[in-house]
Amino acid sequence: MQMDNVEPDQVTVTVALSACADIGALEKAEWIHAYVRRKQGLNMDLCLKNALINMYAKCGDIITARRLFDSIRTKDVTTWTSMIVGHALHGQAEEALKIFYEMKDLKQNPGVNKGNNISSSSPVLPNDVTFVGVQMACSHAG
C-alpha cells in the first residue's frame, strides 16, 4: 500500500493488527502501532484500541495490553474479553478471572469506577467468546 502511496485507514490497520495477533507477529504489530501514533488523520476509535489490546494480549505483552485497557474510559465487551482471553492464553488464570469479575461487578453496578478508569452508563454483558476465555482460564488453573 505504501509503495503505491495509498494510506491505510483504521479498518485496514485493525485488520492488519488482527493478523499480527493471530500469527504472533509482535514486532510488525508494534511498527503498526507506532504508525498509528504518528498518523494524525487516523481516528483512534474503540475498535482500533480493542485491536491493539487484543494483539498485545495475544502476543504476550500483557503489560502494554493492560496499559491500553486502563486508558479506555468506556469499555465494551470486546475490550474486556481481549484482556480475559490474553491472560488465559498465557496461563494467567487468576488475572483472567479477576478481570471477568470486574466486568461482572460493572454489570451489577453500572457507572461505578473500580480504579480502572471505567465509565459506563449501561452494563457490559459477557458474550460467548468471553465465556470461552473464562473456560480457558479455569482449565489452566486446574
Q: Within 10 Å of residue 63's Cβ, how many Cβ atoms?
A: 9
Domain of 69: which CATH number? 1.25.40.10
Which amino acid is located at 125 in the chain?
L
> Could you report the per-residue pLDDT of 9-66, keeping only the tens digit for each?
899 999 999 999 999 999 999 999 999 999 877 888 999 999 999 999 999 999 999 9
Q: Look at the chain and report how many structural domains it folds into.
A: 1
Segments in 1-127 forming alpha helices (H): 10-23, 26-38, 46-58, 62-71, 77-89, 93-108
Model confidence, pTM: 0.84
Higher pLDDT, 60 or 109: 60
> Could you report the per-residue pLDDT of 87-104, keeping only the tens digit for each?
999 999 999 999 999 998
Domain, as residue range, for 134: 2-141
Higher pLDDT, 24 or 111: 24
Instruction: Give the angle subtended at the CA of 78 by the CAs of 52 and 8, to the nearest 5°.
Output: 40
Instruction: Give the angle subtended at the CA of 70 by the CAs of 74 and 119, to the nearest 5°.
Output: 30
Given a cut of 70, whether residue 142 has pLDDT beyond it is no
